[in-house]
Amino acid sequence: MTIHRMKKPLSCNPLKISQPLGGILAMQGIFRSMPILHGAQGCTSFAKTLLTRHFREPIAVQTTALQEMDVIFDADLNLEKALETVLTKHRPDVIGVLSTALTEASGTDYGAKVKKFKREHNLKNHLIVTSSLPDFRGSLESGYSAMVESIIDGLLEQSNRKTYKLLKNQINLLPGSFLTAGDVMEIKEMIGAFGFDVITLPDLSTSLAGHLMTGFSPMTRGGIPIDSARQMMRSGYTIAIGASMERPARRLHNAAGIPYRVFSGVSGLASSDEFFYFLQNLSRETVPLRYRWQRESLLDCMLDAQFNYAGISAVVALEPDHLLSVASWLEEMGVELRGLVASYETTLLEELNRDVWVGDLDDAEQLAQGADLWISNSHGKRGAKRCGAAFMAMGFPIVDELGAYTSVTVGYRGTMEQINKAGNLLIQREENAHEGSVCHR
């Protein structure tokens, strides 16, 4: 295994999404929450635009709207005004203050400012947390994970590190940033089918799954209520999906003694088997009949699709956790992985037994010459067309397809849907190539 670091003076058609956007995404899974981006107004507008186009839902976010003179003289004054305005006008249950490259580079001590603000206003009924998310490090995945970790730290601080009697039938679920709202709901149902009560942080399945709400709310309109989140300290176990969620799970373990298990993904036959086997052992219950039928259907689907996948090669460009998850089911179908491109470097990539490139979608295009299938977010669509590869949209953002945020890609059913979707795209590509050659003659 080798990690290839692309050495270019600039990024062409970037794959990387900024950390603050990942932090905003995590906050959307908490009921009545308000993220405040401590930085320039343009940073907030860009993140909100991408999230709104992807989820087709209003996105709750505020900004301190820093300008040059604010940074030079007193950036914290804008932050104090933003906190006072949000608390006075909206009174959210949770406020997340997210830094940007601007505030990190200027050296402002926004964390101390927030602590002082909380002491002066005696905000015992509100949870206010900070998270350091400079754009020049990491990507969406790391920003999302860091925000979840900050929220857990805030909950632990409010609980005063009390020792609780753990409830064996209660499970904490920490879903990774690459999971859709549909995926989160599916995993919750899987765990619940074994008799467990599930507390999910953050819970995008009840906030960004496309529900209708009457009236307008400037705050998040779904997600986990803060009172429910506080009950996480009593759970008997924590399940984290995605290697990036290990740090938040470890926080709960170190502070409250809650054991945890990290799954790199729940896509593919082997990964799904591992997940259900774990739940079966943990609950001492047999796997429900519907999931056994789903496994049979997946095996039949893999058998039906084998001829369409024979000799196929693919390039995949996604966030690290998502990259591993997609690569697992592609390899099970016998697909040659011509190129795996990650947005940034993590310890997960070092543990993979595969060659991985850390780069952008321009690097993916170079690797995709002669490839049959291209998997990435919507920004890779034109590159796939230039390479003549079938394009399958996954990741963030997906702006030219309906329902991407509600699609299911996990478990036996989700894996089957992915295999069928990619197979249909390959069939369509072959038919188009045949029609083109006939017309040319």
Lowest mean pLDDT among 116-130, 144-158, 183-197, 426-440: 426-440
- Given this model, what pLDDT does residue 352 score? 74
DSSP single-letter state for residue 404? G
Average per-residue pLDDT for the chain: 91
In the block, residue with structure tokens 């295994």: 1
Residue-wise pLDDT tens digits, 199-223: 999 999 999 887 666 566 788 988 9
Whats the size of the chain, residue-wise? Answer: 441
With tokens 């087709």, the residue in question is: 56
Peptide bond into 202 cis (omega under 30): yes
Average pLDDT in the 315-332 region? 96
Backbone angles phi, psi at 305, to 5 degrees: -90, -5
d(CA 116, CA 122): 10
Q: What is the pLDDT of residue 441?
A: 46
What's the pLDDT at 362?
Answer: 95
pLDDT, tens only, 8-40: 888 888 999 999 999 999 999 999 999 999 988
Say whether pLDDT at 403 is over 70. yes
CATH class for the region spanning 167-289: alpha beta
The string of pLDDT tens digits covering residues 95-104 is 999 999 888 8
Query: Residue 24: which H helix or E strand, with range?
Result: helix 19-27
At 213 the pLDDT is 63
Mean pLDDT for the stretch of residues 406-435: 93
CATH code: domain 19-159 is 3.40.50.1980
Token output for 357 = 């490139």
Residue partners of 202: CB distance under 8 A and separation at least 6: 26, 27, 28, 29, 30, 148, 151, 175, 223, 224
Q: Which residue's structure tokens are 């790391």? A: 142
Domain 167-289 shares a fold with domain 295-440: yes
Contact call for residues 33 and 223 (beta carbons, < 8 A): yes
CA angle centred on 260, ends 255 and 261, rounded to 5°: 155
* Single-letter residue type at 366: Q
Q: Provide the pLDDT for residue 212.
A: 63
For residue 176 the two structure tokens come to 């990774």
Beta strands in 39-107 (DSSP E): 62-63, 94-99
| Average confidence (pLDDT) over 138-158 | 95
CB-based contacts of 334: which residues, under 8 Å, 6+ apart? Answer: 306, 309, 310, 312
What's the CATH number of domain 295-440, 1.10.1040.10, 3.40.30.10, 3.10.580.10, 3.40.50.1980? 3.40.50.1980
Is residue 166's pLDDT more than 70? yes
- Residue 75, pLDDT score: 75
The SS3 call for residue 242 is: coil
Residue range 318-344: average pLDDT? 96
pTM for this predicted structure: 0.94
Domain boundaries, the chain: 19-159, 167-289, 295-440
